[in-house]
Every structure is written in C-alpha cells, then in structure tokens.
Structure 1
Amino acid sequence: MSDSSTRPDRTVDAIADRYVADYCALHPLTATYIGVPGHEHELTDFSPAGFAARQELARKALAAATAATPVDAREQVAREAFLERLGLQVEMYDAQVPQSQISVIDSPLHELRMVFDLMRTDDDEAWESIDARLAAFPAALAGYRETLLVAADQGHVAARRQIAEVAEQVRSWTGQSGTSGNFFDRLVEGAEVAAGLRARLEQHAREASDATAGFGRFLDEELRPRGRESEACGRELYTLGSRYFLGTTIDLDETYAWGWQELARIEAEMARVADLIVPGGSVDDAVAALDADPERQIAGKDAFAGWMQQLADRVVAEMADVHFDIPAPIRRIECRIAPTSDGGIYYTGPTEDFSRPGRMWWAVPDSQETFSTWREVTTVFHEGVPGHHLQVAQTVYRSELLNRWQRLMCWVSGHGEGWALYAERLMDDLGYLDDPGDKLGMLDAQAFRAARVVIDIGMHLQLSIPEDNPFGFHPGETWDRELGLEFMRTHTRMEDDQIKFEINRYLGWPGQAPSYKVGERIWLRAREEARARLGEDFDLKSFHQQALDLGSIGLDPLQAALARIS
C-alpha cells in the first residue's frame, strides 16, 4: 500500500506524523501500546520534567498545525481532528489532570503495569527488553510519586477513597491480597533464557515488585491523607473531562434527563424479551432461567477464553466481504484473560505490521469462575467485530487514507465506544441476536451503559434525583456512592465485585462512562440523517465504510464529516 501522507506537500500530515515520532520518544509506553517499534527497552519519564516535556511538545505541534494549510478535504479532516485533540490535551495539562491522575483504571501506574501484557516473549531479545523495563520500574514510579506530590501541593489531588482503592489494587498485583499471586513473579517465571538473563529477570522483577508495593504504601500513608474528601469532581472539571472524552460539548443536564428516559425505554424492551423466555415472567425470572441453563454456562477462565475466541473468529468469517470490507490482516484477533483481576474488559490494537494482532482482554475478578454466555455474546461483538477490533484495526490498515497520527494515536472515547455500542445494536439488526437469551444480554448491556449516564453525571455534579423518575428511586435525594451502588445493583445483572469496580471507575474517571451511550446516540442520528438524505441510494455497508475510513475523531468533526457522506 502507498502512504499518501508522505507526500512533501501534505504539511498537516507531516506535522501529525512527526508528532507521533516525537511523542513516542517522550512516552515509550505509548509506543508499545500503539505498536511503534524502537522503544521496547525504555520506560516513560513520569516525573514533573517528563510531563512538562510532553506538554511543550503538544503546544508546539498545536501551533504548527494551526498555521498549516490543508491541501485537500482529507487533510482538512485530519487537521480538524488534530487541533481538536491536541487543544483539549493542552487544556487537560493546564488543569493538572494528567499530572494528578490516579484511579482504578487509568493512571501512569496502570500504564506501567499493563505494558508488559503487550510485549513479546518469544526470544532473548524480547526478554532483554522486558528486563530493561523491569530494571527501570523503581525510577519510573519515583518520578510519578514526585509528580503526584507536586500536583497535590498545588491543590490537584484525587479523592481519598480512589487513592485507597488503587493501593488495594497494588496489594493484589504484588501478591499481598487476592488469589492471583505476584504479577511480577508470574511475568518472568516462564522465561526460557540463559541462566544469566534469568537471574537478572528475577532480580529486577523482585525490585519492581518491591517498588510497586512501596508505591502502594506511599498512596496509603502519604497521598491518601491529602486526598479530597468528596469523590465528586464538580461541574467545572467534569465539563472538561466530558469534552475530552466526547470531542463535543453536551448539555449535561439534558443528557442526565435523557439517560433516565433511555434506561426506562431499554428496560421496557427487556420486559418484552423476557416474556419470550419465561411467558408471563419478569426479567429476573428470565435471567434465572438463563443462568440455570447448562448450555449457557462455562466453567473456568481458560474455557471461557476459548469460547470467546471461537465466537470472535466465526463472526469475522461471516462478516467479511458481506457486511463489511475486512482486509486480510484484520481477520486475526486474539481473546485473552488478563493477568490481573481488577474487573475490566478492554481491547488493545495491533501493531502497524500486524505482527501483534488486536486483542480483547478480560481482567476477571478473583471470585468469578463461571460465565453465562448469554450475557457475553454482545461483549464479543463490542470488543471484536464489528466493534473495536474492526474499527481500530482497519484504521491502522488505511495508510492510503490516514496519516500515522490518525491511524495509531488518535482515540476519542465517544467515537470509539459509541461505535462499539452501536455495533452491538447493529448485530441485532443483522440477525445475530435472534436468540432471546442473547438479545436479553445485549439489552442488559445497553441498560448498564444507560445507567452509567445517569449516575456518572449525577454523582460528580451531585445532582438531585428527579421527583418523577420512572423507577421511583429515592426521589429528591442527592447522588452519592451508596446510591450509585444501589442503582447499579437494581438495574444491572453483574457480579457485585464488578459493580463495585464500576462505581470506583466512574468516580475516578469523570466523564468517560457516558461516552458510550452519548456516542451511540450520535452514530444512530448520523445514520438516520444519511438515510433520509440519500433515500433509495442509501447503502448501509457503504455508510459504515466511509464512516470508519475517517478514523477516530471527535464527535463534532464526526458529525460534520458524516453529513457530507454521499
């Protein structure tokens, strides 16, 4: 494939491509996550100086792109996306959000731990890179510690409870609690290398583990006492976070009200589907019947990963060249159980050369040993095809249409998670959820995302619960953690450990959780506008391809670009 972004007259593309190389040099963990080679042995500098260097890089690239003139419509879209993302990135730096970030799902600590999941282990060179990073682990944590303390001195610090929850994660990773054992020990125990390298790996794994455990004590003993008492971040910081995750500005109060209505609509549909499973029964009756069906149960994490892999492979084979154009390298996806038990489900993209495929991961809680497939069919669609894997991997592939920054670095949660949620509903339209149990699983996941809209906005803005809410749920009371837990227990069918993780996630990552349903709302609206505009000429497959070919993009520029689809 030719890469049109390398043409000398494409100034915007050149600026964006140079930013990828410069950023990877300053943030080697990102290089590994997005599949850019050459930095496998390095760790990111998370000290105040490291953050300042990345902030200055963003400012310079933003200024250069602002002054650049696009040569065509494609480069104009690229410029709009670049300016939108880097502009918000600078705002986030100025507000000290990245520098003070510590949450159960997103922080430099998590980036440092998770990067090893993506590293090769197939030869001595790969293990040498792992060893180098393990050796640098204590210094990286020391730099991050300094940054958190500087931010705290300036009044920017996470909530006390969030800090305590991360400290508990550290105890789990280092084998001080839980049943998963020590992550660092497990990382190196299977290394088939020479005795000298093995000795270094074991030594540096111990030192990395000790440094991580020490960081957990720092969180508990030094940072937590300085943390915010309130877990709510407030309207100003929430508005910034919402803009960052969506790429648009929304009316938070209107969206909060819409979330209640959307949840009520979905639950009414769930009741209709439940009646197909247990005639005359409730949703809870249908859930009990499905969970009692041995054909819908899988015991053991490895067996469940195998089931996910089989379903993902089948869907890719059936979708390719029928509903979507799926290039050959994208038809490979891996389903894996994550090496930690934090409770998250996530996707990681492929490398540029596809030597590392796209992967869906599940960090299964320690307490979970059985899995109900009716709940997880839609999860495979969300993380795999036509969800994140199709979206992300095909973007990596489109070098003839997108510059390197668009293909590898640009990610907008409202666009990406909105697409993945849209993909779940699309699979129902395409007949993949004709089984009432699988459809109930999809609707349950949709209800879960709608409930997120309500409680994420409600908890962080400390809103009152509407007196006339459709569920009669604590009318007039003010949202807090306990009401959030109760609401999720009432409106989702998840294990309680997962519900607790979700609430911790929302309170530590303001504005991210609603991006799923808000993004889906905009994808659905854009599709219907295109259908109305094109009439009989509307083609769903063509709409999807043209939309995906834009790459990840903020929801404002997305709506403008989709309105031009013909």
Structure 2
Amino acid sequence: MSEDPHALLPRRLADSYVDELVELEPITGTFLGVPGSADRLPDFSPAGADALADLARTTLDRLPAGEGLPDGDSDAERRCARLLRERLTAELAVHEAGEPLRAVSNIHSPVHSVREVFTITPTDTDEDWAAVARRLRAVPAALAGYRASLAEGLGRSLPAGPRQVATVIGQLGEWVGTPGGGWFTQFVSGGPDALRAELDAAAREATDSVATLRDWLRDTYAPAVEGAPEIVGRERYARWVRYWNGTDLDLDDAYAYGWSEFHRLHAEMRAEAEKILPGATPWEALRHLETEGEAVEGVEEVRAWLQRLMDDAIGALDGTHFELADRVKRVESMIAPPGSAAAPYYTSPSLDFSRPGRTWLPTQGLTRFPVYDLVSTWYHEGVPGHHLQLAQWVHVAEDLSRYQTTVGMVSANAEGWALYAERLMDELGFLYNAERRLGYLDCQMMRAVRVIIDIGMHLELPIPSDSPFHPGDRWTPALAQEFFGRHSGRPGDFVESELVRYLGMPGQAIGYKLGERAWLRGREAARAAHGAAFDAKKWHMAALSQGSLGLDDLVAELSAL
C-alpha cells in the first residue's frame, strides 16, 4: 500500500485499518459479514490487546497531520481523518491505562462478545454450520486468553468491581445451566444431522470452558477483588467519557443538565399521570399500567407485535420524514437469548445486507409485556432509531468508508440519535394517548437519571440542596440504585441490572441524553440558518448519511447541513 500515491488518503487508510482489524478481531468481521471470519475468535490475552494497540499506533502514524489533505472531496476526507484520529487516540488511552485487564461487565466484555457473535453467525448451509463448529472449538482458547488478561490485571493491581464479577458469575451459570445442556448445546440443536456429532461435541467444549471461567471467577478472582472500589474516580471516568462520547465533557455542566432535565420531565410526567389515574404520582400510574394497561401476552406474540410496530413506522415515515432505500427498510424483531442483561439492544446489518438489522428483546422470564414502555423503546431500538441510522450508515459505506459507518461508531452519536428518534415520534403524534406518552417520558426520565447518577456516583458528587432526594449527601452506588428505583417505572431486577451496567461501563450511559442534546442543537441551528426553507426530510437523510462523528464534531456538522 505504501507505493500507492493515494495510500494515505484518510478514507483509504481507514478501510485498510478495518481490513487489518478484522484479521485480529474476527467477531468484528462477522458483524460486518466479511467472508472467512465466521470460524475464528479473537485473542483476548494481553498479547492480543497489544496487537490491537500496535495496529492503532501504526495507523495513526500513517494519517496525514492536521488538515493537510488534497483538494477535491476534502470534506469527506476531513471528517474521516478527524474521526479516525479521535477514535484511535481514545482507544489507545484506554489500552495504555490497562482497562482491558479489568474488563468485567454484565453487558460489554469479551465473554459477552463470544456468545453474542453466535447469534449473528450465518447458519444457512452445512458449510456455515461447519464454521460454527470450528468457532465453538475456539471458545476455550478465547476464554483462556480473557482469563489471562484478568490475571495480569490482578498482578498489576487493576481489579474489576466486585459487583460486576458477582453478576457475571451468575450470568455464566445461567448460560451453562440452560435446559438442554447449556446455551451452546441449545444453539446447535438446529444444525444439520450430518454434523450432529461434531456440533454437539464442540458445544460441550464451549460450555465446559464457560463453566471453567465461571469457577475461576468465583473461586479465584472474586476473592482477590473483594473490597475493590465499584466506582472509577474522576481520572478514569474522564478517559471513558472520551471513549464513549467522542468529546471531553464539562462534567459539572453535564451533571447540572441532567438535573434540569429531571425536573422538566417530572413535571410532564405528573401531567400525563393525572390523565391515567387522577391523584396518582407518575410511578403509581406506571404500576397501574403494569396490570391494567394495554399488554401483549406471549413471547412469540410480543416478537410479532414489535415487528408490526417497526413495519408500520417504516410505512408511515418513508417518503414523508425520511427517504429510505429498500434494503434499509428490512428489520427483524428477535428475542434475546437467556442470560442477557435486562436492556433491549440492536445489531446492525452486514455490509451486504444479507443479514438484516435486528432488534432484541430480553424477556427476563416474562410472558406478559405491557405496551406503555415498549412503544417508545422500539422507536429507539428499531425505527426511526438505531435501525434507520445504522442501516443507513451501512447503505452509504461505499460513499464514505467502512470505518466511518461501522467500526468507528461513537456510542453517544448513535444513542443520541435513538433518543432523538423517540422525541421525534412524540413530536409527530405517534404517542397518541397518555399511556404511551407516559411510557415515553419514563424512558426519557431514565436517561436523565443516568446522567445524574453515572456522573454523580463515579465522581462522588454532592446531591444538590434542592433535590427531592438526600439533599447534600454524596452519591454512592446504593443511593444511585435507590434514586433510580424511586424514579422509574421499571421493576427492581431491571434497575439492578442497569446500575451494574453503569458501574461497569462508566461514561457510556450519559451519552443518550447528551447525544440527544447535540442532535437537537444541530437541528435547531440548521433550522435557524434555513428559515422557512428548512426541509426536515432532507436534513434527516443528510444527517444520517454522514457516518459516525464524535460529539466534538456532531453539532457543527449537523448545523451546516
């Protein structure tokens, strides 16, 4: 590549980086749909992490300095260069601080990546299933590498939080103890008869390695980290904020913004609750809706109901508020595998759209599903939220770069768009009754509470004197969980799962509300610049076709559209 006169153009360099990354991270290759990646797993050992860091450093060395880019398509190159430099620098900061050596989380860790990738691995042909068997055989080595990283972290006094460890031990126990011989055995039960013996044996090996990791975490790691802090402190928190948000935030300003949104939303929730159950608090009204509101009975029934909700949204929005390519319109509703965290999630389509975008609902053992919170949540996860943004990014990947539209995703950009999408559906009248609107406001309140408690507990900030909750006290995880539980319509096990998530992914949860604020600021600036000529449909499509941007750049780029 060094002999190519265009080798250092940022978009070419970025795609070269993706090619090399897929060799080291075949899970990424499977998410992208890259042929030949479906039978391997990454090296999660310290050496594997070092190899990723070396690739990042090499790529940064080859990136043009400053704005020294050629004429022509320079805006696209400029955006790509800024994103690539910012993302790789943030990732290196995390690596150099030793964070991969303490990567225990109930939702975002190597062991979760290992299981999740099987849910999107192709299984259409006997050849696909043979690759599944080879990947299953790779699970023991991948988890042994992960264990080696955690062991090195202990040796370097880099412990994970005990609450994370206890939660993951429980999750792994559920994976191993799933009826039918464990989750992996259940997964391969749909494979071809010709490969039955190979698949069953490989699944048993994978299950045994999960059990081995669980036992090591329980018997060796958990005692070693007992008493370690659950919170990360200001220095680590600032590093993670940059990683998840693509910016160095004024954390005191963000904390104050979270409180201002809390008070605004509380007032709106009281007004909607009064329509549902006069005299009730918002959370009394939400508990009332749990038993008396609209609901869907049955797991398959709720999956189909969510599919119809997304299909109907596409039909209503396409041509009016968005202009969607046919392949972007395809999205599938799925049920998440057992042992998942409580929060729903989305997986992007492969680069060729042979695997569509998918939303995933963790049922948590439930068979009855109240609608009040599902509607807004699926506007967030599906349409017009994550699916429309991330599928549109894949649709324009050849015009930008694969990096800008896949690997280089900034969490706060995507989560901010998805929260903006919920608000957009409210603005457009899709939340047409008090029940659905209160559910939407509860979702918004959860994101405001996230800003307050994520920043508050990790930095041990004081609770404001005008707060309705423990004024003047300093935040702790226990107070954060109590506050969340008091100001959420969700059950206690969901609140518990969420708090563990925030402790294990510091700085990520604040990106929803702060990302939404960036999207709203960008839209209002563009509207002010264009006046009566502002076209929301054109703006939405231009905004969704830029690819990833950190919050440092998002408002400026959206404002200029």
Q: TM-score normalised to the size of structure 1? A: 0.94
Give the structure 2 partner of residue 15 of structure 1. 13
Gapped regions of structure 1 (runs ≥ 5): 1-5
CA drift of 1:70 comes to 4.8
Q: Distance in 1 between matches of 2:210 and 2:274?
A: 51
Deviates more, 1:80-89 or 1:58-67: 58-67
1:464-507: per-residue Cα shift (whole Å, max 9, x none)? 222221x2x11222222221221111100112111110011011
CA deviations on 1:352-375 (whole Å, 9 max, x unpaired) are 111100000122213x22110111
Which of the numbers 547, 550, 553 marks the counterpart of 2:549?
Answer: 553
Partners of 2:229 and 2:391 lie apart in 1 by 40
Distance 2:5 2:64 in 1: 19
For the residue of structure 1 that corresponds to 2:193, the secondary structure is: coil
Question: What is the RMSD of the two structures over their aligned residues, measured on CA atoms?
Answer: 1.8
- What percent identity do the matched residue pairs reach? 43
Partner residue in 2 for 1:516:
512
Conserved 8 A contact 1:124-1:193:
no
C-alpha distance in 1 between matches for 2:247 and 2:458 = 19
- 1:325 partnered with 2:323: yes
* 171, 174, 199: which one aligns with 1:172: 174
1:151 aligns with 2:153: yes
Q: Which residue of 1 aligns with 2:311?
A: 313
Write the letter of the residue equivalent to 2:41.
Answer: L
**Residue correspondence of structure 1 range 356-395 to structure 2 within 5 A:** 356-366=355-365, 368-395=366-393
Q: Give the structure 2 partner of residue 81 of structure 1.
A: 83
Matched, 1:502 2:498: yes
1:365 and 1:497 in contact (8 A); partners too: no
Q: Which amino acid aligns with 2:538?
A: S
Where does residue 3 of structure 1 map in the other structure? none
Instruction: Measure how far apart 1:436 and its partner are.
Output: 1.6
Give deviations 1:316-369, integer Å, cap 9, x for gaps.
Answer: 121112110110001110010111233121100001111100000122213x22
Partner of 1:242: 241
Q: 1:193 to 1:69 in 2, by over 3 A?
A: farther
CA distance in 2, matches of 1:73, 1:523: 20
The residue correspondences of 1:49-60 to structure 2 (distance < 5 A) are 49-60=47-58
Q: Deviations over 1:133-165 (max 9, x none)?
A: 111111111111111111221222211221121
Whole-angstrom distance in 2 between the partners of 1:193 and 1:44: 29
Q: Matched residue pairs, number?
A: 552
2-structure distance, mates of 1:192, 1:9 = 45
CA distance in 1, matches of 2:320, 2:158: 51
* Secondary structure, aligned partner of 1:374: coil
> Which piece of structure 1 moves more, 148-157 or 237-246?
148-157
User: Structure 1 runs of 4+ off > 6 angstroms?
Assistant: none
Match of 2:254 in 1: 255
Distance 1:120 1:400 in 2: 23
| Amino acid aligned to 2:141 | A
Tell me, in whole angstroms, the C-alpha distance in 1 between the residues paired with 2:70 and 2:213: 47
In structure 1, distance between residues paired with 2:180 and 2:362 = 11
Matches of 1:7 and 1:371, distance apart in 2? 58
The code of the aligned residue for 2:224 comes to R
The amino acid of 1:78's aligned partner reads C
Offset of residue 289 of structure 1: 4.5
The answer for unaligned runs of 5 or more in structure 2 is: none
Find the aligned partners of 1:311 and 1:163 in 2 and give their Cα distance: 37
Task: Give the match for residue 221 of structure 1.
Answer: 219
Which residue of the other structure, out of 280, 290, 304, is the alignment partner of 2:302? 304
Q: Which of 121, 125, 141 is 1:139 aligned to? A: 141
Describe the SS at the equivalent of 2:270.
helix
**Aligned 8 A contact 1:13 1:403 in 2:** yes
* Separation in structure 2 between the aligned mates of residue 406 and residue 539 of structure 1, nearest angstrom: 25
- Determine the C-alpha separation between the residues in 2 that align with 1:458 and 1:9: 45
Structural mapping, 1:371-450, within 5 Å:
371-450=369-448
Q: Which moved more, 1:340-349 or 1:231-240?
A: 340-349
Contact kept, 8 Å, 1:324 with 1:545, in 2: the verdict is: yes
Counterpart in the other structure of 2:478: 482
Instruction: Give the structure-2-normalised TM-score.
Output: 0.95
One-letter code aligned to 1:95: A
Output the CA distance in 1 between the equivalents of 2:539 and 2:516.
15
Give the secondary structure class of the aligned counterpart of 1:336. Answer: strand
| 1:534 corresponds to 2:534 | no
Cα-to-partner distance string for 1:378-427 (whole Å, 9 max, x where unaligned) = 11100111100000000000135311211221111110000000000000
Distance 2:481 2:360 in 1: 25
Which piece of structure 1 moves more, 116-125 or 68-77? 68-77
Equivalent position amino acid for 2:486 in 1: T
Does the 8 A contact of 2:261 with 2:448 survive in 1?
yes
**Partner deviation per Cα, 1:152-197 (whole Å, 9 max, x = no partner):** 2122221122112111111011117xx7972112111221231xx2
Structure 1 position 8, deviation (Å): 4.6
Q: Could you say if the C-alpha distance between residues 452 and 336 of structure 1 is closer, same or farther in structure 2, counting changes exceeding 3 Å?
A: same
- 1:119: which partner in 2? 121
Secondary structure, in 3 states, of the residue corresponding to 2:188?
Answer: helix
Please give the per-residue CA displacement for 1:498-527, whole angstroms capped at 9, x wherever unaligned. 111001101111111111001111111111
Asked if the contact 1:51–1:99 (Cα under 8 Å) also holds between the matched residues in 2, the reply is: no
Q: Distance in 1 between matches of 2:461 and 2:387?
A: 36
Cα distance change, pair 450–424 in 1 and its aligned pair in 2 (3 A): same
Q: Is the 8 A contact 1:232 1:460 kept in 2?
A: yes
Deviation per CA, 1:288-338: give whole Å up to 9, x if none.
Answer: 4433446x1112221111110111111112111211011000111001011
Superposition deviation, residue 206 in structure 1: 0.8
Amino acid paired to 2:321: H
CA contact (8 A) 1:276 1:436 kept: yes
Instruction: Quickly say closer, same or farther: Cα 1:400–1:50, change in 2 above 3 A.
Output: closer
Letter of the 1:458 counterpart: G
Amino acid at match of 2:509: A
**Distance apart, 1:73 and its partner CA:** 1.1
Cα separation, 2, equivalents of 1:501 and 1:217: 22
Q: CA deviation digits over 1:420-464, x for unaligned, max 9?
A: 000000001111112221111110100011111111111111222
CA contact (8 A) 2:180 2:186 kept: no
Contact 1:180-1:341 within 8 A present in 2 as well: no
1:276 offset after TM fit, Å?
Answer: 2.5
Partner of 1:338 in structure 2? 336
Inter-partner Cα distance in structure 2 for 1:102 and 1:212: 14
Distance, in Å, in 2 between the alignment partners of 1:516 and 1:230 is: 25
CA distance in 1, matches of 2:141, 2:7: 42
Q: What is the match of residue 192 of structure 2?
A: 192
Shift, 1:109, TM fit: 0.7
Q: Does the aligned pair in 1 maintain the 2:523–2:559 contact within 8 Å? A: no
**CA deviation profile, 1:1-33 (whole Å, cap 9, x unmatched):** xxxxx9957721111110010000011011112
